[in-house]
Amino acid sequence: MLQKLESWQDQVAKVQGWRRGLLAFFLGALSVLALPPVHFVLALIPAFVGLVWLIDGSNRDATSNWQHFIRQRFFNGAFAIGWWFGLGFFGAGLYWISFSFLVDAQQFAWMIPFALFGLSGVFAIYIGLVSALCFRLAGPGMRRVFYFAIIWVAFEWVRGWAFTGFPWNLIGTVWTFNEAMIQFASVLGVMGLSLVTMVAASSIAILGYGKKSPRFRYYGAGLPLLILALIWAGGMWRVGSAKNHVVENVQLRLVQPNIKQKNKWKSELRGKHFNNLLELSEAPLREPNGKKPTHIIWPETATPFFLDGNDAALRIMAQIIPKEGALLTGSPRRTGGRGEPVKLWNSLHVVGPDAKISATFDKFHLVPFGEYVPLRDSVGKFINIAKITTGRTDFSSGPGQRALEIPGAPPVSPLICYEVIFPGAATPAHSEGQARPGWLLNITNDAWFGTSSGPYQHLAAAQLRAVEEGLPVIRVANTGISAIIDSYGRIQVASRLSERIYLDGPLPAKLKNPTLFSRNGQWGLLVLILGFLLIAGRRRLD
């Protein structure tokens, strides 16, 4: 078996030219099978082992002949091979963004190849840097494997904040199908789970290095897998000892109206959309002896009009709001006018039975080109770039994360749309003196992405925030996947994709004590990375 792997390592490392780039691209796309909704985690092994072996065969030679330089570096350099892998990884993992350009196909469909491959090509630079640094820091062997995993996760962290950040499809996400495995995120977050997963998957490459003894290679490949097994066992113990507490006297109704994005903002359908929300909110209980909802939640931009100041709509809504509860809804908001600059906000309103808005949260982490056009003032002088959402005015960014007081329920930390994908940013900063909220509320509109893997990946991020923070996550989508997720990341109830439905259920209780991750953030990950770096620094691993 070892001889066969040694032969494969030699063959992969010797692949040259365009075949090398094509193989790397294929391996990157293959790795996406491990992500939601497929969760074929074993696909990570051939994908990352193959990338490590391709890095082994990278070319160091420099030349003054530009034609020779292009031939050598375009496919045969370490950076290039990582970039091609990244193009496959991000291209296959983010293909669903193309669907958003088809909502108004006449205006935006032509942008699909530029958006998909442009975005994937930019993010692929991170993987190119991973490969280049691994190639420079260590030769073929176990040290290179450790550096590969460490640097990959380091760039996952960078991807989470650089250029406004986009930490989508972090490798730790592959485990969200398994309740036990994701419990590790309560200690070191999803990126800690990424690190141990990367080491375990890529360490199989060690079996193909014939310079080390078989015993060394088996230990090198087996110990990381043993660590994963211990993480699973610890997760099983944590989930097995979990108490299924709920918040007393709080019964939620999640409303998923399933409105197609192309119809959402048509003026002639506004009344129909509003009535759709009201009908689902008033629908009878599915169980005769079930508890009546105390709190009704509508999704992102649920009201197809500005709710703030619309007394008629508020009075209608008040008729369906329980006396001691509230209705939480996404809604666009407008300020300014009469000589003041007009500003638009993507907001969440808390509406009471008195037909008044008691609290408002404005989304602060906006989607580039979806909700605003970056550098519009500079770039707009030379080219007219429109955002793909309705209207010409960019949305404004809110002041930041904070907890809202909810009548009859614990304080909530709202997360609108993709604000839920950012590890460590789901709740107000402790340094700001704000109390820990009782739950997280993620309202979203995944109708932009149709029937694709996007909504499943979005849901997976919400599960991981629940585990990291030790807080339940309530996810309400216009369409997509609405769900009640408890503080251990377990889905209690969920809708299906593209389904008009309402979901009833109690609000799970938060954990009594904050998780290690919620207290320490990414510091625990840094300690783990330093530990792996100390191991990787040992020359005997080559």
Same domain, 360 and 303: yes
Q: Is 79 part of a structural domain of the chain?
A: yes
Domain presence at residue 513: no
Ranges 85-94, 275-284, 341-350, 425-434: which has the least confidence: 425-434
Clarify whether residues 333 and 449 are in a common domain: yes
Of the candidate ranges 234-248, 264-278, 387-401, 479-493, the one whose mean pLDDT is the lowest: 387-401
Show the CA angle centred on residue 19, arms to residues 29 and 83, nearest 5°. 50
Single pTM value for the model: 0.94
Residue 401 lies in a domain: yes
Tell me the three state secondary structure of residue 397. coil
Position 349 in a domain: yes
Same-domain pairing of 453 and 325? yes
308 and 205, same structural domain? no
Residue 62 has pLDDT above 60, yes or no: no
Q: How far apart, in whole angstroms, are the C-alpha atoms of residue 377 and residue 339?
A: 21
Task: Kindly state whether residue 514 falls inside one of the protein's structural domains.
Answer: no
Length of the chain: 542
Q: How far apart are the first and last CA of the chain?
A: 21
Average pLDDT for 177-190: 98
Question: Looking at the domain assignment, is residue 516 inside a domain?
Answer: no
Between the CA of residue 63 and those of 58, 68, 71, 73, 137, what are the distances in Å?
Answer: 15, 7, 11, 10, 22
Domain check: are 221 and 305 in the same one?
Answer: no
Please indicate, yes or no, if residue 256 is contained in any of the structural domains.
Answer: yes
Mean local confidence (pLDDT), 460-485: 97
DSSP states of 130-165 = HHHHHHHH--TTHHHHHHHHHHHHHHHHHHTTGGG-
- How would you classify residue 19: left for phi > 0, otherwise alpha for psi between -120 and 50, otherwise beta? alpha
Question: Is there a single domain that holds both residue 235 and residue 273?
Answer: no
Average pLDDT over residues 457-479: 97
CATH code of the domain covering residue 307: 3.60.110.10
What is the per-residue pLDDT across 303-330, written as a single tens digit (0 to 9) for each? 999 999 999 999 999 999 999 999 999 9
Range of the domain at 53: 2-240+521-541
> Do both 311 and 415 map to the same domain?
yes
**In the prediction, which pLDDT does 381 show?**
47
Tally of domains in the chain: 2
Active-site residue list: 300, 363, 417
* Same domain? 220 vs 290: no
Tell me the average pLDDT of the chain: 92
pLDDT for residue 374: 79
Q: How far apart are CA 224 and CA 197, in angstroms?
A: 8
**Distance (Å, rounded) from C-alpha 380 to C-alpha 83?**
30
Residue 104 lies in a domain: yes
**Same-domain check for residues 168 and 313:** no
Is residue 529 over pLDDT 60?
A: yes
473 with 532, same domain: the answer is: no
Q: Do 223 and 309 reside in the same domain of the chain?
A: no
Q: Are residues 310 and 194 in the same domain?
A: no
